[in-house]
């Protein structure tokens, strides 16, 4: 039985990835700082939960050996420069070292659309710059630029647009806000996205592991859906599909940049994870859509799913989950 370690396996995307890997016969190990975070996946067969901090290099070095492959899904959307660098750059560096020492043959790294490993300094946000720098670290190892002088592992990098699904914190959040507020002032209203279904991203991870060819490593795949929307259109659609305002939604009006910055700063002060931050606004200066310069999901044999019929199902449900991970039946 093939063995794999999944970093970030307790998160939104990670839970779907773990389920698919188990279905495909992998023995899965998921590290997490707190075991309670793995409640949704710990009952899966052939899945082991390890309580450890993946940012602890010594702990990671002990956890990786014995695995044939590694998937990295660890990421943050908000934080300081130090936090972004620790998560998006330092961790990939530790992953590259651990995989080299342990002889791991395959790595799948989930990055972000808009990242550019060749020119990270030209990107407008800490999120995109550090995502790009993390890609560069892994690509160098995969191309033999590390200390060994040889390719350390086969590498696939997935660059998804915003990811939607029954447990997402994007479409669901905007629908929830419009249940509370009669109008919706919106920062970054004209930013463009190409939303991709979480099940399609999870399937892409598995296909990268099973269909990869070392001759094409490292490979970059843009994981996007079939449609492009502005943020304003997505916010309006979330309310309409949820039946808010009799199915018409709420009035949504775009904020000018100065007002958007104020809104983002105020949201950043709120308790819990913010809906919007200054750095998010900086990221939205770059359209979050396919460049057409890299292969897409079709190169992995995946027909990308449209947003509307899937989002309508989970936004109209009293229980956003349908089955184990929510909406999973659509993947078969």
For residue range 240-282, list pLDDT tens digits in order: 999 998 888 899 999 999 999 998 888 777 667 777 889 999 9
Q: Is residue 246 part of a domain?
A: yes
pLDDT > 90 in the chain, percent: 80
Which of 251, 129, 255 lies closest to 190 in space, CA to CA? 255
Taking the CA atoms of 33, 100, 107 and 280 in sequence, report the sign of the dihedral they define. positive
Which of 5, 200, 15 lies closest to 107 in space, CA to CA? 5
* 125 and 42 co-located in one domain: yes
* 201 and 189 co-located in one domain: no
- The DSSP secondary-structure symbol of 154 reads E
- Is the pLDDT at 61 greater than 90? The verdict is yes
Q: Report the domain count for the chain.
A: 2
> Residue 152: what pLDDT?
81
- Is the pLDDT at 323 greater than 60? The verdict is no
* 124 and 259 co-located in one domain: no
Over residues 165-190, mean pLDDT:
92
* 60 and 135 co-located in one domain: yes
> Residue 263: what pLDDT?
84
> Residue 264: what pLDDT?
84
Q: Is residue 294 part of a domain?
A: no
Q: Is residue 214 part of a domain?
A: yes
Whether 228 contacts 196, CB under 8 Å: no
Over residues 297-305, mean pLDDT:
95
* 202 and 188 co-located in one domain: no
Q: Is residue 256 part of a domain?
A: yes
For residue range 87-112, list pLDDT tens digits in order: 999 999 999 999 999 999 999 999 99
* 110 and 179 co-located in one domain: no
Q: Is residue 299 part of a domain?
A: no
> Residue 317: what pLDDT?
74
* 95 and 202 co-located in one domain: yes
**H/E run at residue 57:** helix 57-63
The Cα angle at residue 216 between residues 210 and 218, in degrees rounded to 5 = 90
Q: Is residue 297 part of a domain?
A: no
- The length of the chain in residues reads 332
Q: Is residue 101 part of a domain?
A: yes
* Greater pLDDT, 317 or 184: 184
26 Cβ neighbours under 8 A, 6+ residues apart: 1, 2, 3, 4, 46
Q: Is residue 298 part of a domain?
A: no
* 62 and 89 co-located in one domain: yes
Over residues 5-20, mean pLDDT:
97
> Residue 267: what pLDDT?
75
* 283 and 235 co-located in one domain: yes
For residue range 114-142, list pLDDT tens digits in order: 999 999 999 999 999 999 999 999 999 99
Domain enclosing residue 236, as ranges:
163-193+227-288+305-331
* 101 and 245 co-located in one domain: no
Taking the CA atoms of 250, 253, 257 and 263 in sequence, report the sign of the dihedral they define. negative
CATH of the domain at 84: 3.40.50.720
* 8 and 123 co-located in one domain: yes
Provide the mean pLDDT of the chain: 90
The Cα angle at residue 183 between residues 180 and 184, in degrees rounded to 5 = 90
């Amino acid at each position: 039985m093939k063995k794999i370690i999944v970093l970030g396996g307790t998160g939104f995307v990670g839970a779907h990835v773990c389920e698919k890997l188990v279905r495909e016969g992998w023995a899965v190990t998921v590290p997490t700082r707190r075991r309670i975070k793995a409640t949704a996946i710990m009952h899966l067969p052939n899945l082991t939960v390890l309580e450890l901090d993946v940012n602890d290099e010594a702990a990671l070095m002990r956890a990786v050996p014995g695995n044939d492959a590694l998937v990295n899904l660890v990421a943050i959307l908000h934080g300081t420069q130090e936090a972004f660098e620790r998560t998006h750059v330092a961790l990939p560096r530790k992953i590259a070292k651990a995989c080299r020492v342990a002889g791991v043959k395959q790595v799948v790294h989930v990055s972000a659309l808009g990242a550019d490993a060749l020119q990270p300094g030209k990107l407008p946000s800490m999120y995109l710059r550090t995502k790009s720098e993390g890609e560069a670290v892994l690509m160098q190892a995969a191309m033999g630029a590390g200390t060994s002088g040889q390719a350390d592992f086969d590498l696939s990098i997935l660059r998804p647009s915003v990811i939607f699904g029954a447990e997402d914190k994007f479409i669901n959040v905007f629908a929830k806000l419009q249940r509370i507020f009669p109008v919706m002032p919106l920062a970054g209203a004209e930013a463009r996205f190409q939303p991709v279904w979480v099940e399609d991203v999870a399937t892409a991870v598995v296909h990268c592991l099973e269909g990869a060819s070392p001759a094409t490593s490292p490979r970059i795949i843009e994981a996007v859906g079939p449609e492009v929307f502005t943020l304003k259109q997505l916010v309006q659609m979330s309310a309409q599909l949820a039946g808010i305002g009799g199915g018409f939604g709420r009035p949504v009006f775009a904020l000018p940049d100065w007002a958007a910055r104020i809104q983002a700063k105020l949201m950043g002060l709120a308790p819990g994870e913010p809906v919007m931050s200054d750095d998010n606004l900086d990221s939205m200066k770059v359209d979050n859509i396919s460049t057409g310069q890299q292969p897409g999901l079709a190169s992995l044999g995946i027909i990308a799913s449209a947003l509307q019929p899937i989002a309508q199902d989970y936004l109209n449900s009293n229980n956003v989950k349908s089955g184990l991970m929510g909406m999973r039946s659509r993947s078969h």
